Structure 1
Amino acid sequence: MSGPSRRSLARALETLDDFADPSVALEQYLTPPEIAAHVCHQARLTGDLDGWVVDLGTGTGMFAIAASLSGAERVIGVDVDPNALAVAQSNAARLDAAEESGFLEWVRADATQPPLSGPVDDATVTVFSNPPFGAQRGNRHADRAFLETARSIADVSYTIHNEGSQSFVESFAADEGGDVTHAFRAEFPIEQRFEFHTEGERTLEAEVFRIEWA
Structure 2
Amino acid sequence: MKQRKLEMLLQKVRGFENPDPALEQYATPAPLAAELLHFAYMKGDIEDTVFDMGCGTGILAIGAALLGTTKVVGYDSDPEAINVARENAVMMGVEVEFINCPIEKVSGKANTVIMNPPFGAQCKGSDRPFLSAALNAGNTIYSIHNSGSFNFIRQYIKPSVITEWYTTSFPLKRTFKFHKKDVERIEVEIYRISSLSHHNY
TM-score (norm 1): 0.88
* Matches of 1:60 and 1:185, distance apart in 2: 24
- Per the TM alignment, residue 52 of structure 1 is displaced from its structure 2 partner at its CA by 1.0
Query: What is the CA RMSD across the aligned residues, in angstroms?
Result: 1.2
* Matches of 2:102 and 2:168, distance apart in 1: 26
Partner of residue 117, structure 2: 131
* Matches of 1:78 and 1:140, distance apart in 2: 21
Give the conservation status (yes or no) of the 8 Å contact 1:78–1:114.
Answer: no
- Per the TM alignment, residue 80 of structure 1 is displaced from its structure 2 partner at its CA by 0.5
Partner of residue 153, structure 1: 137
* Matches of 2:76 and 2:143, distance apart in 1: 15
- Per the TM alignment, residue 42 of structure 1 is displaced from its structure 2 partner at its CA by 2.0
1:199 aligns with 2:185: no
Counterpart mapping for 1:157-168 below 5 A: 157-168=141-152
- Per the TM alignment, residue 62 of structure 1 is displaced from its structure 2 partner at its CA by 0.9
- Of 53-62 and 181-190, more deviation after overlay is shown by 181-190
1:108 aligns with 2:94: no
1:24 aligns with 2:24: no
* Matches of 1:206 and 1:164, distance apart in 2: 8
Partner of residue 108, structure 2: 117
Tell me the alpha carbon deviations over residues 112-134 of structure 1, each in whole angstroms, 9 at most, x when there is no partner.
x134122xxxxx52111101111
| Structure 1 segments (4+ residues) deviating >6 Å | none
* Matches of 1:106 and 1:172, distance apart in 2: 28
TM-score (norm 2): 0.93
* Matches of 2:116 and 2:78, distance apart in 1: 15
* Matches of 1:203 and 1:44, distance apart in 2: 25
Unaligned runs of 5+ in 1: 99-103, 119-123
* Matches of 1:32 and 1:145, distance apart in 2: 23
- Of 184-193 and 71-80, more deviation after overlay is shown by 184-193
Unaligned runs of 5+ in 2: 197-201
* Matches of 1:205 and 1:7, distance apart in 2: 21
- Of 77-86 and 31-40, more deviation after overlay is shown by 31-40
Q: 2:57 aligns with which of 60, 72, 90?
A: 60
